[in-house]
Amino acid sequence: MYLIVDVGNSRAKVVVVESDRVVYQTVAENLSADIVSNIVMQYQGICSAIISTTRGDGDSLKAMVEGYVERVLLFVPATTPIPIKNGYHTPQTLGADRLAAAVGAWAMSPDSDVMVVDFGTAITIDYVVDGEYRGGNISPGVTTRFRALADYTACLPLCQPTDEVLEYGRTTVEAIEQGVMRGVENEIRGYVEAFSKENDKKRIIFTGGDAKYFVKRIKNTIFADCEPLIYGLTTILRYNAERE
C-alpha cells in the first residue's frame, strides 16, 4: 500500500493506493499529523509515501509524514528521477502537479503521445511526446475567471460554471456565464485541434474539478476516472523504489 499526498493551491488530498486501486481518499484544507496518523492506523499495510506540494512546504511535510511512514519520497521535479525524459528548460520552476499529471497520463497510455488538460484554479495544458515531457501552457481557471470579473469590475456579479450552451447571453448573468464557459471551450478546442493534427497516435485527457463541463463539449477527449496526478505520483514512487 502507498500513501499519496498531493497538496495543491487550495486543498490537500491524501490517497491510499493498493495494487493500482484507490482504496481511500480524503480532502482537507491543510495536511495535519492527525490526518496522517489516522490513515496509517486504519491502513497498516502502508509501506511508503510520496508527497507533492505546490506551496513550498515540502521539507516540513516530509518530516511530519516520516513520523508515521518508514519510507517517504518528496517529489521535486528538478531532482526526482521519473520514468520519462523531462525536456522542461527550467525544471526548478516546474510545478510538481503538472509533471506528475503528465507522467500519469503517459503511464495510462505509454504507446501514445499525450495531452493532459487540468481544469483547476489554473488551467494547465501539458504534453508528453515520444516519451518526453515537452512542457505546456498555463491560463486562468474557470472559477478564477469568474472571480476576476467580479473583483475587478464595479457592477458585474460573481457567477458559476454552467452546462447550458446559449448562442447569446440575454441577461448579464448569462452573458458572463457564456463568455467564460465558451471562452474556455474555444481556447481548449484550439489546443486539441492543433495537437490532433500533429500527432497520429494521440490521447487527450481532461482532469480536474471543472473537466466535466468540457469533455461533453469537445470531441475526441477522455475524462480521467483515475486522476492522472495520483496515478503519476504512484508511478513515480514505484519507479524510485525499483531503482534502489
Enumerate the active-site residues. 97
List of long-range contacts for 136-145, beta carbons under 8 Å, 24+ apart: 136/98, 136/102, 137/191, 139/187, 141/208, 141/210, 142/180, 142/181, 142/184, 142/210, 142/213, 143/210, 145/180, 145/183, 145/184
The grid coordinates listed for 214 are: 468540457
**Those residues with Cβ within 8 angstroms of residue 88's Cβ, 6 or more apart along the chain or in another chain:** 77, 94, 99, 133, 135
**The three three-digit cell numbers of residue 243, written as one number:** 531503482
Residue 135 exposure: Cα atoms within 13 Å on the Cβ side: 8
Q: What is the DSSP string of 88-151?
A: -S-GGGS-HHHHHHHHHHHHHSTTSEEEEEEESSEEEEEEEETTEEEEEEEEE-HHHHHHHHHH
